[in-house]
Structure formats: C-alpha cells, structure tokens
Amino acid sequence: DSGVTQTPKHLITATGQRVTLRCSPRSGDLSVYWYQQSLDQGLQFLIQYYNGEERAKGNILERFSAQQFPDLHSELNLSSLELGDSALYFCASSPNYLSTDTQYFGPGTRLTVL
Amino acid sequence: AQKITQTQPGMFVQEKEAVTLDCTYDTSDQSYGLFWYKQPSSGEMIFLIYQGSYDEQNATEGRYSLNFQKARKSANLVISASQLGDSAMYFCAMRGVNRDDKIIFGKGTRLHILP
C-alpha cells in the first residue's frame, strides 16, 4: 500500500458525460501528479500540482482539468468524454517537486467510456 | 528531448534465475533521476528503486539492483533470484531537474517467471 488513495476504483460512463476522479496523497506529500495509461499511448503525464498550485503540465486535453485543494487532495475532471478517453488514470504523490523525489502511485481509476 | 527506451517487450525467465531488464535513456541534463516501477496484473504501480545521476554507487533495494552506466546512458534493473510474484510489467522512468521536466516512462517490459 503506497498510502495514496484514489476513488472510485472503476467508472463506467457514456460519451459526452463528465466525471470527477479523486486522489488523496500520502500524508505529508505536497505534490500530486495525474497520469493516463492507455494501451496505445502508454503512461502519459497529465498535470502536476504542488501545494495547491499548478506546477507542470503535460499532455492534458483542454476537456480535462484538475485542481488541488487546501487539504492537498486533488480532483481530475474529465468532460465531453470520448471513447478514446477510456484508460487507467493514476494519481501519484511526492514530498516536494524535486527530480529526486520518488512518486508513489495510487491504485488507479479505471475509466470506461461506452 | 528526453527519452526512455526499453527494448525488450517481453521476457521469459526460469524461477530463481537472475534477470536483467534493459533501459537506456537520452537527456542533455547533467542532473536527473532514474526510477523503476513494477505493474502487476492488478494494475497498481509499485516503486522499486531510484538512482540519481550523481550517485557514485549503484542503487540496491533487497533483490533489486540498478546497473547504472552513465557514459552509456543505461540504467538496467537486475532482479536476483526471481520469484513467481515478479511476473509483471516493469517500467523505467526518468525525470530532469527543470521546473517543466516531467517524469517520462518507457513502454515497459513484460516479465514472465516460469515455475
């Protein structure tokens, strides 16, 4: 158990819908990262927050948005969902934002868009 | 641009044998971190081992060790005395030091341990 929690574990929805994925980092970690893992694209970095502020952005679509709250939990919002958004979404956390920081991953949310 | 290459899409190894998973990387940064993660069939990503670019000694964590050859830009994972539970997907990853540097992952190697 990494100490990072993600809810829900599974999510099945329809095209055009909007969903929210939730992540709670390990105790004491200030950085939260979101990743998308799909069969064709592999593991792709989406976005990073550090202590409530966006710190780095990756291959995140405009239909997707995220935020980190004062209690450091984070939410990833996916809207206007398409079939291609079906993937495993991971949240990871680390103490700070240094390159030496190990990122600990949550169990993931498996999103299926029908 | 930074890049991670894992050339072995799949490997079959007999239980109790040692196994080496290859990873080469490309970066112009002088300071960076290298990571290995394990992803079993259950899906979670499990951190295994870390190597800093300035670390003089190869990292070790239990049965895992990292064969770091900086001049060759390789960071191979060595698993000693493999076990059936080692069957999983293994990802090599790298992160630079700049603000916009993200952790990038290789495409992974699927390891099968045979009884």
Residue B32, chain A, CB below 8 Å: the answer is yes
Q: What is the pLDDT of residue B98?
A: 67
pLDDT tens figures, A55-98: 888 889 999 999 999 999 999 999 999 999 999 999 999 998 77
Interface test with A, best of B47, B103, B105, B109 (most A CBs within 10 A): B103
Q: Give the pair of three-digit tokens for residue A78.
A: 């996916």
Interval B26-32 mean pLDDT: 87
For residues B82-107, average pLDDT:
87
Q: Which of B45, B53, B37 is nearest to B91 (CA)?
A: B37
Instruction: Examine the pLDDT at B99 and tell me if it is beyond 70.
Output: no
pLDDT of residue A110: 96
| Residue A97 pLDDT | 79
Among the partner residues A56, A106, A107, nearest to B102 by beta-carbon distance: A56
CB pairs under 8 A between A and B: 54
Q: Which residues of B touch A106 (CB under 8 A)?
A: 44
How many Å lie between the alpha carbon of A43 and the closest alpha carbon of chain B? 6
Q: Per the CB < 8 Å rule, is A2 touching B46?
A: yes
